[in-house]
Amino acid sequence: MVKPSSSSSSTSQDALALINSLRSAYSATPTTLKIIDLYVGFAVSTAIIQVVYMALVGSFPFNSFLSGILSCIGTAVLAVCLRIQVNKENKEFKDLAPERAFADFVLCNLVLHLVIMNFLG
């Protein structure tokens, strides 16, 4: 579509520009969303560490491994959902109060972790 296929240098500076604009755009996001992002990052990195462990050792107590990974992914996904819902820019959720979103988030987390605990064995 556009010129990044023209030459490597242009793509690199494009990338730089992209990074800058990304950072600037992100710095505009409110603190609450940043916290949520941090939380998501935390969950995802935990999941990744577990995957690495599985790759090294093997997934013998499979249910434990599965519940570990899925709990991380699940919390991450739920946090992303929460983020989507409380995002001010998001037009779709005008009528949804952030508190309500948080309540749903809590409920969903409780259910998720009940299941996780049950599955942990």
Partner 1 sequence: MEASETSNGTTLRNAFGNVLSFFILVLIGVLAFSIRLFSVIKYESVIHEFDPYFNYRVTQFLTKNGIYDFWNWFDDRTWYPLGRVIGGTVYPGLTLTAGTLWWLLNSLNIPLSVETICVFTAPIFSAFTSWATYLLTREVKGSGAGLTAAALIAMVPSYISRSVAGSYDNEAVAIFALIFTFYLYIKTLNTGSLFYATFNALAYFYMVCSWGGYTFIINLIPMHVLMCIVTGRYSSRLYIAYAPLVVLGTLLAALVPVVGFNAVMTSEHFASFLVFIIIHVVAFVYYIKGVLTPKMFKVAVTLVLSIGLIVCCAVIAVLVALVASSPTKGWSGRSLSLLDPTYASKYIPIIASVSEHQPPTWPSYFMDINVLAFLVPAGIIACFSPLSDASSFVILYIVTSVYFSGVMVRLMLVLAPAACITSGIALSEAFEVFTRSIKFQLPGLPGISPVDAGETSSDSTVPLNEAPKTDKSGETLKERPSRKNRKKEKEPVEKPSIKSQIEKRLLVLPFEGSILAIFLLVLLGAFYVVHCVWAAAEAYSAPSIVLTSHSHDGLHVFDDFREAYAWLSHNTEVDDKVASWWDYGYQTTAMANRTVIVDNNTWNNTHIATVGTAMSSPEKAAWEIFNSLDVKYVLVVFGGLVGYPSDDINKFLWMVRIGGGVFPHIKEPDYLRDGQYRIDSQATPTMLNCLMYKLSYYRFVDTDGKGFDRVRRTEIGKKYFKLTHFEEVFTTHHWMVRIYKLKPPKNRIRGKTKKSKSKSSATISGKRSGTRKNPWH
Partner 2 sequence: MATRNLGALLVLVLAITIREVASVFQPISDSHRSAASELFTPAEGSFGSLEEAYEALRSFEILGIDKPDIRGASGESVLDKLGSSSSAPKDLFYALKVNSILKCEVNKEVFEGIASRLKAVVNGASSLLDIYYSIGSLVLIKNQSSEVDVLLADADGIFRSIKSLSQSDGRWRYSSDNPESSTYAAGLAVEALAGVVSLASSEIDQAMIGKLKRDVSKLFDIIEKYDDGAVYFDEKVDQSPLSTTASVVRGLTAFAAVTSETLKLPGDKILGLAKFFLGIGVPGNTKDFFNQIDSLACLESNKVSVPLILSLPATVLSLTKKDQLKVKVSTVLGSSAPPVTVKLVRAFSSGSKDASIIPSQELKFDKESRYHFLDVLPKNVDVGSYMFVFEVVLHDSEHETIYATGGLTQVGVFVTGVVNIDNAEIAVLESDKSVETQKKLDLAGENAVSLSANHLQKLRLSFQLTTPLGHTFKPHQVFLKLTHETKVEHIFVVGNSGKKFEIILDFLGLVDKFYYLSGSYDLQLTVGDAVMENSFLRAIGRVDLDLPEAPEKATRPPPLAVNPYLKYGPKAEISHIFRVPEKLPPNHLSLAFLGLLLLPLIGFLVGLLRLGVNLKNFPTSAVPATFGFLFHVGLAAVLLLYVLFWLKLDLFTTLKWLGILGVFLLFVGHRILSHLASTSSKLKSA
Q: Which residues bind to partner 2, rule: CB under 8 A?
A: 31, 34-35, 38-39, 41-43, 45-46, 49-50, 53, 56-58, 60, 97-100, 102-103, 106, 110, 113-114, 117-118, 120
The one of partner 2, partner 1, none whose footprint includes residue 98, by CB under 5 to 8 A per kind, is: partner 2
List contacts with partner 1 (CB under 8 A).
1-2, 4, 11, 14-15, 17-18, 21-22, 25-26, 29, 62-63, 66-67, 70, 73-74, 77-78, 80-82, 84-85, 89-90, 92-93, 96, 100-101, 103-105, 107-108, 111-112, 115-116, 118-119
Distance (Å, whole) CA 75 – CA 80? 8
The one of partner 2, partner 1, none whose footprint includes residue 41, by CB under 5 to 8 A per kind, is: partner 2
Structure tokens at 45: 């990195």
> What is the crossing angle of helices 98-120 and 62-86, to 10°?
180
The one of partner 2, partner 1, none whose footprint includes residue 94, by CB under 5 to 8 A per kind, is: none
Closest CA to 39 of 116, 118, 107, 102: 102
Residues 31 and 39: beta-carbon distance below 8 Å: no
Closest CA to 70 of 89, 93, 43, 90: 43
Nearer to partner 1, 45 or 118 (CB): 118
Number of other residues whose CB lies within 10 A of the CB of residue 57: 9
CB of 18 to partner 1, least distance (A): 5
The one of partner 2, partner 1, none whose footprint includes residue 25, by CB under 5 to 8 A per kind, is: partner 1
Distance (Å, whole) CA 117 – CA 110? 10
